[in-house]
Amino acid sequence: MGIQFDIPTATMKSVQFNPDVSKKPHLVHCDVPKVTNPKEVLLKVIAAGVCGTDIHIIHGSYPSRKGVILGHELAGVVVDCGSEVTTLKPGDRVVCNPNRGCGCCNLCKVGRYNLCKKESSASTVGIFRDGGFAEYCKVGESDLMKIYDEIPLLFAPLCEPLSCVVNSWHHVEPVAAGARIAILGAGIIGNLYASLFYFRGYRNVVVSEINESRIEICKSMGTGFEILSPATIGGQLEKGSRQPFNLIIDTSGNAKAIEAAFEWLDIGAKFCAFGIPNPAHKIEIRPHILVGKEIQVVGSMAECQTFPEAVDLFQAMYEAGRIVPEKLGVKIFNLEQHEEAFQALASGEISKALFSISDELKN
């Protein structure tokens, strides 16, 4: 793109979290990281997304490295490359796949790095390695994917949650044409999933949600899908005014919602557990349903080798008007507004907070 990128030498703004120092993340001025390894790349971060996982980290219910720069959904422009980097050059527009297991355990060796339990300072960007809530971020060449020129860098961090949706999609496909589908929860994952179903021609989709702001956001997406409370859906099924579902995707992680939804499944249906539940919560189901209806239950954890497909899908859905960030409930903040951004996301008032970190090149 004909722009020269100077390698910065001054300090940079970052949002770091260290529970030993404070229960809240803080804006810290720190040194710009330097490329020291031949396979490393320095990014000028243009935008980074705040995710429910960041809220869990702050609440202490998800592990992270103390003092880490948060932000595992990030997009930017390459400014410096190690001597052995061959696939990228300064000026390239990229999105980061933050997920990398230890690389050594058997799960990692068969490519299931999303299930690796040996987290270390070498694993997930923005959780164990320093992440994207900063003006610059140093990652590995293999963590980055080039993106299409048509995808604005400001919105490109959404490729990360979309890659998780794609992973779940692979667990539930094939989905028959005309399938009756329920999505539990209208956060960003539920909304992206609803958009994907619409994009792929499914129209018989119901979204189950109780948060008023989320209901409004979901309506504004213009899919025409019904958005109802779980009590209403349950009541309709009991009365027989609604047919049971062929596929239910839980994005809420809410044990009560999951428990209720097992009664909504039709013969031969699939249930996909995708939202991350509280590890201590339990549910009661009638196992008779599983046998008598030949139900398939599948779990889906984050992203697994689905990032390239997510980048292509993002491009296709963006061009088709099925990823319109404002309609999905995305709101833009700057790093100084980090407290406000975390708060707005935690309350459900928005579905995704994006930090716009640099005003240059965001389109």
The residue from 102, 276, 290, 297 that contacts Zn ion (CB under 5 A) is 102
Nearest by Cα to 99 from 136, 28, 67, 51: 51
Answer yes or no whether residue 108 interacts with Zn ion by CB under 5 A.
Answer: yes
Task: Give the burial string for 283-310 (b: 16+ CB within 10 Å, else e).
Answer: eebeeeeeeeeebeeeebebbbbbbeeb
For tokens 């249930």, what's the residue?
271
Answer yes or no whether residue 304 interacts with Zn ion by CB under 5 A.
Answer: no
Least Å distance, CB 116 to Zn ion, is 3
CA–CA separation, 239 and 7 (whole Å): 66
Using DSSP, state whether 360 is helix, strand or coil: coil
The residue from 45, 51, 248, 341 that contacts Zn ion (CB under 5 A) is 51
Nearer to Zn ion, 51 or 74 (CB): 51
Nearest by Cα to 179 from 119, 93, 103, 244: 244
Nearer to Zn ion, 53 or 168 (CB): 53
H helix count then E strand count, the chain: 10, 16
Q: Which stretch binds Zn ion (CB under 5 A): 11-19, 96-104, 181-189, 225-233?
A: 96-104
Least Å distance, CB 178 to Zn ion, is 32
CA–CA separation, 260 and 201 (whole Å): 27
Answer yes or no whether residue 105 interacts with Zn ion by CB under 5 A.
Answer: yes
Q: Which stretch binds Zn ion (CB under 5 A): 59-67, 94-102, 288-296, 342-350?
A: 94-102
Answer yes or no whether residue 53 interacts with Zn ion by CB under 5 A.
Answer: yes
Nearer to Zn ion, 79 or 310 (CB): 310
Q: Which stretch binds Zn ion (CB under 5 A): 56-64, 116-124, 182-190, 309-317?
A: 116-124
Answer yes or no whether residue 101 interacts with Zn ion by CB under 5 A.
Answer: yes
Least Å distance, CB 229 to Zn ion, is 26
Nearer to Zn ion, 108 or 206 (CB): 108
**CB neighbour list of residue 116: distance below 8 Å, 6 or more residues apart:** 101, 102, 105, 107, 108, 123
Answer yes or no whether residue 162 interacts with Zn ion by CB under 5 A.
Answer: no
Answer yes or no whether residue 116 interacts with Zn ion by CB under 5 A.
Answer: yes
Nearer to Zn ion, 124 or 223 (CB): 124
Amino acid identity, position 345: L
DSSP assignment string, 92-125: -EEEE------SSSHHHHTT-GGG-----TTS-B
Nearest by Cα to 135 from 76, 188, 194: 76
The binding site for Zn ion (CB under 5 A) comprises 51, 53, 101-102, 105, 108, 116, 118
